[in-house]
Amino acid sequence: MPFFTMLMLFGAGILSGICNAVAGGGTFFTFPVLMAAGLPPVVANASNTVAVWPGHALALISYRDQISEAKTNLTGSIVTVLAGGVLGAFLMIMAGNQGFSKLIPFLILFATILFANGQRFYKWLNTHEDSTHLSPALVRLIEFVIAVYGGFFSAGLGIMFMAGLLMLGVTDIQMNNALKNLLGMLVTTIALLIFILSGLVSWPHTIVTFAGAILGGFWGGRIARILPELWLRWTVISVGSGLTFYYFFKYYL
């Protein structure tokens, strides 16, 4: 691997780790750089899933106390999201590079919209303690659809799970975050296992990106104290918007 490529991947990993530690949206940096490094779209997506996985694990550990206190019966949700993650991962593999590449601009656009409206959702969550709950069957269906998306392309998965948990009746923000991290971790774990067993992960690219993400995550907490979150959020939104236009022109014009 050329040194410049390693530097580019490492830098993208750092930016991803910082963003995920402060505001989220790290995939907007790692996924396009993995593609720019020459990886086919499917391999880039699979490698990105593995590279950002430790961030999900660390987030889950920080909420272990809340998860142990959860009053919601999680068995149905766990089975549902695992099944959805499996289906999403296999759908991504079946789509192939040509099919997946055609979806990239729409996936990034969708993730950008979710990210841009994430703060509004947090505020809504805090002010709607008496929200109407959906039937368990419908909630399971929503969880399954979210997990399929997460197994296919994980950007924006956390915000989607927060909405699904709210519908299930988890209105406490800390508990919602804890369970969101648990379900997101399950989806990405089952997906990355499938990607690894399918031989779709480029380990040299993944390891370099992962190393940068760990360093970025370490710095993220310190940067959060000096850099306004709003600046970083708008940077991520701008990058996501730019990538949407870039991939649309690349694959459709």
Q: Return the percentage of the chain with pLDDT > 90, whole number.
A: 43
Do the Cβ atoms of 232 and 19 come closer than 8 Å? yes
Cα–Cα distances in angstroms (integers) from residue 137 to residues 73, 131, 142, 159, in the given order: 14, 18, 9, 21
pTM (2 decimals)? 0.85
Q: Is 25 left (phi over 0), alpha (psi -120 to 50) or beta?
A: left
Range 43-66 average pLDDT: 82
Radius of gyration of the chain (CA): 17
> Please, which pLDDT band fits residue 161 given cuts at 50, 70 and 90?
confident
Extract the tokens encoding 142. 């929503």
Could you list the residue range(s) of the whole structural domain that residue 188 is in?
A: 3-252
Give residue for tokens 């009746």.
Answer: 169
- Looking at the structure of the chain, the number of domains it has is 1
